[in-house]
Structure 1
Amino acid sequence: MIIKTCGLRTKEAVDCAVASGATHLGFILSESKRQITPKQLIEITKDVPSNVKKVGVFVNEDIDFVNDIANQAGLDIVQLHGQEDMDYIRKIIKPVIKSFDDYKKIYYYDLKDMTILLDSSVGGSGQKFDWNSLPLEQIEAKFILAGGLNPENVVQAVEFFGDKILGVDVSSGIETNGVKDLAKIKSFIERTKNYDVF
């Protein structure tokens, strides 16, 4: 299962996530309170093993800008949180995770070209994605779930979606007062990993 910790800004948080068993690390490279520069990203991820994927998060940026940063910062995956269409996605040089706040929008995309992430309308806000809004019987593609996840509800979320879920993505749910909390990072990852064993 994919376990992605997002909005990381310090080496301490990165190292904690890696040591705890995160599979993907997310870094905000568009305007946000969690934004970091490519130079900072390179510095805080210099000890990250190659099996842990570095994900750059972008919102409605110029395609060349995204591809340049993906190369410069050594990203493994590009995550898109804006109104990027299929033409845009096909020009990205790295594998793509595309965020959706409405499952119906997915039908306008070619799913073989990307991984789906379902999030609340404001990513990183802690606002819970409305799980009950999804017609599970109609969902064919597996997806990563985000939107209001935290150490207390992540197992419930995984149980709710069962084999539809590829993984989980958390940002504000591992923070205290807007700062990444190492204990919460560890707890979130360990609870997800322990559930995934069964």
Structure 2
Amino acid sequence: MIIKTCGLRTKEAVDCAVASGATHLGFILSESKRQITPKQLIEITKDVPSNVKKVGVFVNEDIDFVNAIASETYLDIVQLHGQEDIDYIRKIIKPVIKSFDDYKKIYYYDLKDMTILLDSSVGGSGQKFDWNSLPLEQIEAKFILAGGLNPENVVQAMELFGDKILGVDVSSGIETDGVKDLAKIKSFIERTKNYDVF
């Protein structure tokens, strides 16, 4: 089970997520209130073990820029949240997570080139993805679920989608007043891990 904490900006939040059992750490490298610089990313992840994946999040950036940052900051994965097409994805030098706010859009992509993330139309907003809009019987590919997840509803979401879920991705749901809350990070990860045991 992928457990991804996204929008991390401090070493304290990174260390808390790692210690609590996050498998993936997300860092916003495009314009956003959670954006960090490549230099900051390198600094706050210097102690992250190799088994925890570093994910850089980009929105409609130049391909050369994305690849340069991915190399410079030792990213393991690139996550795309814009209108990037399949040709763009195939030019990325790292494995790709592609965000979709509408499951129907996935049919225009070759799934072997990426991992799917289902999110609300504005990632990191706390806006809940309309889980009930997904036709579970038609969904063949497994996906990472995002969009309004928090420690209180993550188990409900996993119960709803069962083995369709590769993992969960949270950002605003582990914040208080727009700042990462270490207690919420720990709670979210622990609840996800405890559910995944069964």
Question: CA shift at 1:58, angstroms?
Answer: 0.1
Question: CA shift at 1:129, angstroms?
Answer: 0.3
What secondary structure sits across from 1:27 in the alignment? strand
What secondary structure sits across from 1:184 in the alignment? helix
Structure 1: which 5+ residue stretches go unaligned? none
RMSD: 0.2
Question: Cα deviation per residue 1:153-173 (whole Å; 9 max; x = unaligned)?
Answer: 000000000000000000000
Distance in 1 (alpha carbons) for counterparts of 2:51 and 2:197? 19
Question: Cα deviation per residue 1:62-82 (whole Å; 9 max; x = unaligned)?
Answer: 000000000000000000000
Distance in 2 (alpha carbons) for counterparts of 1:146 and 1:178? 17
Question: CA shift at 1:43, angstroms?
Answer: 0.1
Question: CA shift at 1:14, angstroms?
Answer: 0.0
Which residue number corresponds to residue 44 of structure 1?
44
Question: Cα deviation per residue 1:134-155 (whole Å; 9 max; x = unaligned)?
Answer: 0000000000000000000000
What secondary structure sits across from 2:117 in the alignment? strand
Question: CA shift at 1:18, angstroms?
Answer: 0.0
What secondary structure sits across from 2:140 in the alignment? coil
Instruction: Return the TM-score normalized by structure 2.
Output: 1.00
What secondary structure sits across from 2:141 in the alignment? coil
Question: CA shift at 1:180, angstroms?
Answer: 0.1
Distance in 1 (alpha carbons) for counterparts of 2:114 and 2:59? 16
Question: CA shift at 1:3, angstroms?
Answer: 0.1
Question: CA shift at 1:15, angstroms?
Answer: 0.1
Distance in 2 (alpha carbons) for counterparts of 1:5 and 1:67? 22
What secondary structure sits across from 2:186 in the alignment? helix
Which residue number corresponds to residue 115 of structure 2?
115
What secondary structure sits across from 1:3 in the alignment? strand
Distance in 2 (alpha carbons) for counterparts of 1:190 and 1:19? 11
What secondary structure sits across from 2:88 in the alignment? helix
Question: CA shift at 1:30, angstroms?
Answer: 0.1
Question: Cα deviation per residue 1:108-129 (whole Å; 9 max; x = unaligned)?
Answer: 0000010000000000000000
Distance in 1 (alpha carbons) for counterparts of 2:135 and 2:194? 27
Question: Cα deviation per residue 1:21-59 (whole Å; 9 max; x = unaligned)?
Answer: 000000000000000000000000000000000000000
Distance in 1 (alpha carbons) for counterparts of 2:113 and 2:87? 11
Distance in 1 (alpha carbons) for counterparts of 2:126 and 2:142? 22
**Mapping for residues 164-175 of structure 1, pairs under 5 Å:** 164-175=164-175
Question: CA shift at 1:84, angstroms?
Answer: 0.1
Distance in 2 (alpha carbons) for counterparts of 1:47 and 1:158? 30
Instruction: Return the TM-score normalized by structure 1.
Output: 1.00
What secondary structure sits across from 1:163 in the alignment? helix
Question: CA shift at 1:99, angstroms?
Answer: 0.0
The ranges of structure 1 where at least 4 consecutive aligned residues each deviate by more than 6 angstroms after the TM superposition are none
Distance in 2 (alpha carbons) for counterparts of 1:120 and 1:58? 16
Distance in 2 (alpha carbons) for counterparts of 1:83 and 1:130? 20
Which residue number corresponds to residue 62 of structure 1?
62
Question: CA shift at 1:17, angstroms?
Answer: 0.0
